[in-house]
């Protein structure tokens, strides 16, 4: 399976129909999720601010999923030299960083409404901020290092080491005192959410996942197409001699 789509031509054929499907599905899921978010009732404790959860939580999940994808693609590139692995990892970086920034902004808004402050240097907030810096550092390596092979190796090593931060984010609320509540949905034995809150949250999570996949597919399409154009031989110049 790893080698099946290593051929850029085969990947282009796959992406030509998969990207529109992902884009349309993401749009439908996002529209449904937004409708469900506004139709859901206010929370007894948090009131109307509970609606921030429908943006914040899927953004945080997507940020960690995107970085995990980068780390896995970097491992494949580092070990097996898969020709599309680096492209996939790079295509995940920008949308993953955007999701991380969105989770930080919406988390700050939630914190102000719920805790009375936009920011606290607790384990969860600090580790997510570090994740944003790792994203920025990963993207900077590709921009600063001119040699493509060297950049790929450095970026892959950075991505794999940086993945250590993902379980830190996940378990930070268990390891340290935190303003964040314990896991409500994602951990075994978690108390869960009432259906009227869980349904829009899951729909938005699906929408974010599809949107992230669409961004990655489109980014890979664009880069593969650019590489193919760069490898085409330049047209031979011809001179026309006109009779005088």
Our count of domains for the chain comes to 1
* 41 in a structural domain: yes
> Does residue 236 fall inside a structural domain?
no
Q: What is the CATH number of the domain that holds 141?
A: 1.20.120
Q: Give the C-alpha separation, 112 to 202, whole Å.
A: 24
Q: Is residue 217 part of a domain?
A: yes
Residue 185 lies in a domain: yes
Q: Give the phi and the psi of residue 138 in degrees, each rounded to 5.
A: -60, -45
Asked whether residue 114 is domain-assigned, the answer is yes
Q: Is the residue at 51 inside a domain?
A: yes
Does some domain include residue 1?
no
- Per-residue pLDDT of the chain (244 residues), as tens digits, is 555 656 777 888 888 999 999 999 999 999 999 999 999 999 877 788 889 999 999 999 999 999 999 999 999 999 988 878 999 999 999 999 999 999 999 999 998 888 888 988 888 999 999 999 999 999 999 999 999 999 999 999 999 999 999 999 988 877 776 666 666 665 544 556 788 999 999 999 999 999 999 999 999 999 988 887 777 665 555 545 444 4
Domain assignment present for 237:
no
Q: Where in the sequence is the domain holding 15, given as residue range(s)? A: 8-231
């Amino acid at each position: 399976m790893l080698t099946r789509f290593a051929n850029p031509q085969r990947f282009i054929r796959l992406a030509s129909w998969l990207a529109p499907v992902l884009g349309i599905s993401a749009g439908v899921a996002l529209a449904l999720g937004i409708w469900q978010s506004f139709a859901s009732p206010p929370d007894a404790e948090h009131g109307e601010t509970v609606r921030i959860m429908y943006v914040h939580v899927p953004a945080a999940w997507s940020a960690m999923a995107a970085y995990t994808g980068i780390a896995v693609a970097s491992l494949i590139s580092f070990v097996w030299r898969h020709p599309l692995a680096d492209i996939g990892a790079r295509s995940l970086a920008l949308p993953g960083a955007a999701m991380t920034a969105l989770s930080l902004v919406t988390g700050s808004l939630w914190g102000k409404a719920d805790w009375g402050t936009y920011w606290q240097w607790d384990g969860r907030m600090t580790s997510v901020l570090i994740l944003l810096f790792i994203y920025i550092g990963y993207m900077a390596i590709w921009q600063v290092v001119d040699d493509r092979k060297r950049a790929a190796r450095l970026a892959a090593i950075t991505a794999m080491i940086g993945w250590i931060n993902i379980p830190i984010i996940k378990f930070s609320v268990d390891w340290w005192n935190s303003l964040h509540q314990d896991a409500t949905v994602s951990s075994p034995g978690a108390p869960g959410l009432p259906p009227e809150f869980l349904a829009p949250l899951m729909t938005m999570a699906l929408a974010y996942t599809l949107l992230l996949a669409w961004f990655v597919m489109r980014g890979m399409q664009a880069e593969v197409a650019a590489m193919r154009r760069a490898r085409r031989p330049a047209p031979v110049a011809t001179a026309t001699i006109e009779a005088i």
